[in-house]
Structure 1
Amino acid sequence: MKERIFLILQISAVFIGTIVGAGLASGQEISQFFTQYGYKSFFGILICCAIYIIMSSIIVNISIKYRLNSYDGLILLVSPGFLGLVTNFLTTFFLIGGASIILAGSGALIHQYFGISRWIGILLMVVVSIIILLRDIKGLMEINSIIVPSLVIVIFTLFMLHLIFYKNINPSFIKSIPHYKDGWLLSSLIYSGFNILCCSGVLVPLSLSIGKKKSLVTGSIIGSLGLTALALIINFLLISNIPYIFKYEIPLLYIANRFGKLIQIMLLLIIWLEMFSTEVSDIYSVGKNFQEMFHISYNKSVFLIILITIPISQIGFINLISFLYPAFGVIGFIFIVQCTIFYIKDTL
């Protein structure tokens, strides 16, 4: 029983760690996709939660039934034809692009705060990632079992400090804060579509590796609820500090600055760890895909992907990714619809 509970918690940690990333941990993603829509953004986060729970359960069921090994197999199964090929290509492109940007980000973070060469930050990320990735699914589960609880502790500490020092914040105050954009529902659907498509890269091989449907579904549900709680807290912190948070690349750091150097350092460490977690998840997902597509070993796939990402990290795909992010979210939502239709037909 203890082993099953521990396995479920590990699965939930992997689910959270795969989706969170540095964008959510810094507050930037929540700010862009939710906070700007005012108090209705909280409803958007809850809708994302429902989609995460439903879709992760569907993906687990399909993956186990058809013994799928990577997102490539899932996409082409539920979306055969040209759209499936496009979705598969874009998913691979975004995962490799995301891994490249994280390498560049690690270099920038090390350079900015320690004044040393960016290459040290890049190589540090590469070496640690290889060590974890060569442990396959065990490495992914082990590292997220450490990073996710650390993230929860830091975000919850920041939340409690904010409540203690700013007692005048209440529901009526939150509701009175103006919104800067309309279309909160569409933004929520795009955000959930992007995350589910990226998350499938880990959920599919995880399902095949573990093979215990109940544990996988329960872990995904707990992960969805935990992720939602984090998103709600971060959104609350951001929305109660409008408009100041829009001036900063790391909005949560602006809030953390009020509570001393220790909280700032803890938050920066968590952001780096979440960058690392996303790096590992992205390379793992593409590694499993390359293993199936090119019939090469998983370890060779990992080294191949890292060799691809290092030079790309020097080019800088940030503007390109930012431009295509919503488009990929739309494709992700189409994938969600196709996945749901396939599952319903398959179970009838």
Structure 2
Amino acid sequence: MVKKVLQTTLAFVGLVVGAGFASGQEVLQYFVSYGTAGLIGAGIAAILLGVAGAAILQLGSYYHAMEHTDVLDSITRPWIARAIDIFVSLVLFCLGFVMIAGAGSNLKQQFGAPVWVGAAIVSVLVIVTGMLDVNKVTTIIGAITPFIIIFTLGVSVYAFATASTPLSELDELARSVASPLPSWPLALINYVGLALILALSMALVMGGDQLNSRAAGLGGLIGGVTFGLMLVIAAGAIFVSVGRVKDSDMPMLAMVNEIHPVLGTAMAVVIFGMIFNTAIGMFYAFAKRAAGIRPNLYKPVLIGSTLVGFACSFLGFKALVGKLYPIIGWVGIVIIALLVIRWILDRPKISREIARRARVRDMVAKKLHRRRRFTRGDHQRLEAELAASNLPDHILHGETVEEVADELVKQGEPIDRGIVVQTRAEVEAVEQADDEDVDTSAPRSN
């Protein structure tokens, strides 16, 4: 379980550490601009991110989500779920063109290139990559995330070690930065909604990939708090350097350049990679969802939405973060609050299901192990537990058999492979029957 929790933690941090955080502009506006009070807000945000992370991933696991609508359809009315789905799709597009704007600002700040150059480069890359195997490309670029964490921690240590400006002066300088909201409590709440709504779809699916809801919840909790601590450290570092970076589009990049220009160039490349990774993820997902059941529309939608995004990017990265992000954040916090409230109300039910899946796992291990005796009574108890679960019998049984079989093999334990093969065949038969039922119930055209 420890390994799964760690994997989930790292994956969740990777989801929420986006290009906006890496640039430092989000942190500057949402926290540093309120002075020392904003730093307190960052600390409170860390706690809220942990609680919400636990709720999102555990709900995803409980409902075995294959996409975010699997959870939304289960906890809300259909029209609410549909409205949220539409909003999430719009967020994908909006964040896509904010990333294009960020690419322009990134290359302008580091290399002096016109804003349109960086924006055009990332737009072309998005269109070209969107026609290829996106998963492979984004997996490779996703490896950049650890470098952002290293750069953030490294530049923060340097900023704290070289800080010499009095606190009162820093507070005054920080408050001269334009703030997106009238007070720091509103800003921290809005930021939590913004950060989590961007990761919501993938986080629910990531939770759905785990049968162990306790491990999923712990991974979300630790991942949310870990990102929150990075937020606190980044906010503190930008705060003590605010006099030098407050007018920069990319505050973190400006801080790294102060250490050494070569490191600044490396940081610019890393941020550009994260911007591209985020942009392709946003436009790809938006085009897929907008095309819906007509896959032939995917390419025209991808090209068209990217070109529109390129045009919108000329509004400016800093301006877009300051004006667009708060709107996304407020709607986002409503959706996240809905999920957290439902998670709290369903805690008894989820706890019972966690215990039930653990018992199913123990009985399946006994059934598969050649040196253990699986009795008729064990079989009846397994059937009863499967029937009581919120998941379909064949899904819970089939995936548990696969997981337990893999673990026993890794441990060098003898297993009955015939049971594994038989279970796979039973699952395939049920799924095939379900597909045939859908086909026969679909209206036929004359």
User: How far off is 1:322 after superposition?
Assistant: 4.8
> Alignment partner of 2:147: what SS?
helix
CA 1:48–1:177 in 2, change beyond 3 Å: closer, same or farther? Answer: same
Q: Residue 44 in 1 paired to residue 38 in 2?
A: no
CA 1:217–1:278 in 2, change beyond 3 Å: closer, same or farther? Answer: farther
In 2: Cα distance, 1:24 partner to 1:234 partner: 9
Q: Is the 2:56–2:340 Cα contact (8 Å) retained in structure 1?
A: no
In 2: Cα distance, 1:114 partner to 1:36 partner: 26
Residue identity opposite 1:163 in structure 2? F
The C-alpha deviation readout for 1:178-205, integer Å capped at 9, x for no partner, is: 3626621111001101222221111112
The C-alpha deviation readout for 1:71-95, integer Å capped at 9, x for no partner, is: 3443444442655443332221111
**Partner residue in 2 for 1:339:** 339
> Alignment partner of 1:276: what SS?
helix
CA 1:310–1:21 in 2, change beyond 3 Å: closer, same or farther? Answer: same
Unaligned runs of 5+ in 1: none
**Partner residue in 1 for 2:306:** 310
Q: What is the 5 A alignment of 1:212-223?
A: 212-223=212-223
279-288 vs 65-74, greater mean Cα deviation: 279-288
Residue identity opposite 2:306 in structure 1? I
**Partner residue in 1 for 2:66:** 69
In 1: Cα distance, 2:261 partner to 2:74 partner: 50
In 2: Cα distance, 1:296 partner to 1:250 partner: 39
CA 1:149–1:314 in 2, change beyond 3 Å: closer, same or farther? Answer: closer
Q: Residue 251 in 1 paired to residue 251 in 2?
A: yes
Q: Residue 236 in 1 paired to residue 239 in 2?
A: no
Q: Residue 202 in 1 paired to residue 199 in 2?
A: no
**Partner residue in 1 for 2:134:** 133
Q: Which of residues 99, 102, 105 in structure 1 aligns to 2:99?
A: 102
User: How far off is 1:175 after superposition?
Assistant: 9.4
**Partner residue in 2 for 1:122:** 123
CA 1:309–1:101 in 2, change beyond 3 Å: closer, same or farther? Answer: farther
In 2: Cα distance, 1:301 partner to 1:50 partner: 42
In 1: Cα distance, 2:14 partner to 2:103 partner: 17
In 1: Cα distance, 2:6 partner to 2:290 partner: 28
Q: Is the 1:202–1:285 Cα contact (8 Å) retained in structure 2?
A: no
User: How far off is 1:107 after superposition?
Assistant: 5.9
Normalising by structure 2, what TM-score?
0.64
CA 1:261–1:185 in 2, change beyond 3 Å: closer, same or farther? Answer: same
Residue identity opposite 2:42 in structure 1? I
The C-alpha deviation readout for 1:124-162, integer Å capped at 9, x for no partner, is: 344456666335xxx766643x22211121122212322
CA 1:86–1:231 in 2, change beyond 3 Å: closer, same or farther? Answer: same
Normalising by structure 1, what TM-score?
0.80
Q: Which of residues 134, 147, 152 in structure 1 aligns to 2:149?
A: 152
The C-alpha deviation readout for 1:88-125, integer Å capped at 9, x for no partner, is: 32221111221233245436655883859554443334
246-255 vs 157-166, greater mean Cα deviation: 157-166
Residue identity opposite 2:124 in structure 1? L
Residue identity opposite 1:218 in structure 2? L
CA 1:50–1:258 in 2, change beyond 3 Å: closer, same or farther? Answer: same
Q: What is the 5 A alignment of 1:75-86?
A: 75-80=72-77, 83-86=80-83
User: How far off is 1:9 after superposition?
Assistant: 4.4
In 1: Cα distance, 2:240 partner to 2:273 partner: 26
Q: Which of residues 171, 195, 203 in structure 2 aligns to 1:177?
A: 171
In 1: Cα distance, 2:289 partner to 2:74 partner: 14
Question: What is the RMSD of the two structures over their aligned residues, measured on CA atoms?
Answer: 3.4
In 2: Cα distance, 1:205 partner to 1:296 partner: 23
> Alignment partner of 1:69: what SS?
coil
User: How far off is 1:68 after superposition?
Assistant: 2.5
Residue identity opposite 1:247 in structure 2? D
CA 1:213–1:284 in 2, change beyond 3 Å: closer, same or farther? Answer: farther
**Partner residue in 1 for 2:395:** none
> Alignment partner of 1:12: what SS?
helix
User: How far off is 1:62 after superposition?
Assistant: 1.9
28-37 vs 315-324, greater mean Cα deviation: 315-324
CA 1:108–1:188 in 2, change beyond 3 Å: closer, same or farther? Answer: closer
Q: Is the 1:38–1:175 Cα contact (8 Å) retained in structure 2?
A: no
User: How far off is 1:330 after superposition?
Assistant: 1.4
CA 1:310–1:96 in 2, change beyond 3 Å: closer, same or farther? Answer: same
In 2: Cα distance, 1:43 partner to 1:302 partner: 45
Residue identity opposite 1:31 in structure 2? L
User: How far off is 1:310 after superposition?
Assistant: 1.9
> Alignment partner of 1:134: what SS?
helix
> Alignment partner of 1:47: what SS?
helix
CA 1:315–1:280 in 2, change beyond 3 Å: closer, same or farther? Answer: closer
Greater C-alpha Rg: 2
Q: Is the 1:71–1:285 Cα contact (8 Å) retained in structure 2?
A: no
In 1: Cα distance, 2:202 partner to 2:325 partner: 20
Q: Which of residues 11, 19, 41 in structure 2 aligns to 1:22?
A: 19
In 2: Cα distance, 1:102 partner to 1:57 partner: 28
Q: What is the 5 A alignment of 1:183-194?
A: 183-194=183-194
Q: Is the 2:106–2:250 Cα contact (8 Å) retained in structure 1?
A: no
